[in-house]
């Protein structure tokens, strides 16, 4: 049962879509939604300023840290005011917190007493940050002990969803979460096994687990690269949500053959719920 939803926001359009989605979920579950804005401590440190100044060939501003801190705090205040307005409009219980720290770490610490993290897919500086230091979203997904929902839409759908299942530990958690969603939302879903290797055995495992649940489920196997198959199938059946285990393989394998999770984060045609 979901009773506490954490929604980090940076005030961007991407983040505000996450806010609206989180508020809609909170209303559906009669849950409390917790808004969080983090003043990024990395932007207040001297090394960051020196690196930027050197690349631009300029001298640092006098009182740079104080000025930037004030700007970020004001931006946080505006972001949380917009969050509060959305919650009030929907008559949803909420809290709003501004913190200072390493963004990913602050989100993870705040999520310890949350049941779900909802984040808008993308962020204010996504285009250039992803290539340099990795996105906040992927950092949270990789380390969070709570399910993380990434969305580029602001309203949850209720037609159908897809759960990608490969028999891994994280995928089993995704199957459990999917059973709860299917029962709570009275929403049909498809269990998809991608690839030839042990496909029927893996599908039978999912079938056995879900047999005890009162859910409307369709079982599907598709041959091909799992990353592409999962995204293509979600698009093909017009899924309102894609559920899957996050980073189920070793880091070495991810470096060599790529990560299905990273591919889904970048290409999923619908909101993406990742579990660990």
Distance in angstroms (rounded) separating the CA atoms of residues 213 and 189? 13
| Mean pLDDT value across residues 41-53 | 60
Mean pLDDT, residues 144-166? 95
61: pLDDT strictly greater than 70: no
Number of H helices, E strands in the chain: 11, 10
pLDDT score recorded for residue 133: 36
Question: Tens digits of per-residue pLDDT, 11-38?
Answer: 999 999 999 999 999 999 999 999 999 9
Sheet holding 116-120, edge to edge: 94-101, 32-40, 4-8, 116-120, 148-151, 272-275, 242-245, 161-164, 189-194, 217-222
User: Picking from 35-44, 117-126, 168-177, which range would have the lowest pLDDT averaged per residue?
Assistant: 117-126
Which pLDDT value is given to residue 276?
A: 87
- Taking the CA atoms of residue 75, residue 77, residue 78 and residue 83 in that order, the dihedral angle to the nearest 10 degrees is 130
- Return the CATH architecture of domain 4-151: 3-Layer(aba) Sandwich (3.40)
What's the confidence (pLDDT) of residue 65?
A: 65
Closest CA to 96 of 112, 107, 85, 80: 80
Give the per-residue pLDDT at 91.
98
Asked if the domains at 4-151 and 161-275 fall in one CATH topology, the answer is: yes
Show the CA angle centred on residue 241, arms to residues 216 and 135, nearest 5°: 150
Residue 147 pLDDT greater than 60, yes or no: yes
> Are 175 and 191 a contacting pair, CB within 8 Å?
yes
What does DSSP say about strands 242-245 and 217-222: parallel, antiparallel, or unpaired? unpaired
Residue 59 DSSP class: P
* Burial of residue 274, with CB atoms counted within 10 A of its CB: 0-12 exposed, 13-18 middle, 19 or more buried: buried
pLDDT tens profile 178-202: 999 999 999 999 999 998 789 999 9
Long-range pairs of 55-58 with CB within 8 A, sequence gap ≥ 24? none
What pLDDT is recorded for position 257? 34
Domain boundaries, given as residue ranges, for the chain: 4-151, 161-275
pLDDT digits (tens, 9 = 90+) for 213-263: 999 999 999 999 999 999 999 999 999 999 999 986 544 344 333 489 989
The string of DSSP codes covering 13-40 is HHHHHHHHHHHHHHHHHT-EEEEEEEEE
Q: Which of 41-50, 82-91, 194-203 has the lowest mean pLDDT?
A: 41-50
Q: Give the residue-averaged pLDDT of 161-168.
A: 96
Distance of CA 93 to the CA centre of its chain: 21
Average pLDDT of the chain is 87
Average pLDDT for 1-6:
95
- Partnered with residue 190 across adjacent β-strands are 162, 218
Percent of the chain with pLDDT over 70: 83
Identify which has the larger pLDDT, 62 or 107.
Answer: 107
Output the six-digit token pair for 87: 């919650």
Burial grade of 28 (CB within 10 A; 0-12, 13-18, 19 or more): middle
161-275, which class in CATH?
alpha beta
Rounded-to-integer distance, Cα 242 and Cα 233, Å: 10
């Amino acid at each position: 049962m979901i009773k506490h939803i954490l929604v980090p926001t940076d005030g961007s359009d991407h983040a505000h879509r996450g806010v609206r989605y989180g508020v809609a979920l909170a209303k559906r579950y009669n849950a409390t939604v917790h808004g969080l804005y983090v003043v990024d401590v990395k932007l207040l440190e001297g090394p960051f300023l020196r690196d930027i100044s050197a690349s631009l060939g300029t001298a640092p501003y006098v009182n740079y840290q104080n000025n930037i801190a004030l700007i970020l705090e004001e931006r946080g205040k505006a972001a949380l005011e917009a969050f509060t307005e959305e919650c009030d409009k929907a008559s949803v219980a909420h809290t709003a917190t501004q913190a200072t720290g390493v963004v990913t770490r602050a989100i993870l610490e705040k999520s310890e007493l949350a049941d779900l993290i909802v984040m808008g897919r993308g962020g204010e500086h996504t285009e250039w940050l992803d290539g340099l230091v990795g996105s906040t979203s992927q950092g949270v997904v990789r380390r969070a002990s709570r399910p993380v929902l990434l969305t580029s839409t602001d309203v949850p759908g209720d037609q159908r969803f897809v759960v990608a299942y490969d028999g891994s530990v994280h995928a089993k958690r995704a199957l459990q979460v999917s059973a709860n969603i299917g029962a709570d939302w009275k929403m049909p879903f498809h269990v998809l096994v991608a690839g030839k290797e042990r496909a029927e055995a893996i599908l039978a495992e999912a079938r056995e687990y879900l047999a005890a649940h009162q859910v409307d489920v369709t079982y599907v196997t598709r041959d091909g690269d799992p990353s592409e198959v999962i995204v293509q199938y979600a698009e093909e059946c017009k899924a309102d949500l894609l559920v899957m285990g996050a980073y189920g393989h070793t880091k070495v394998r991810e470096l060599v053959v790529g990560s299905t999770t990273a591919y889904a984060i970048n290409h999923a045609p619908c909101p993406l719920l990742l579990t660990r």
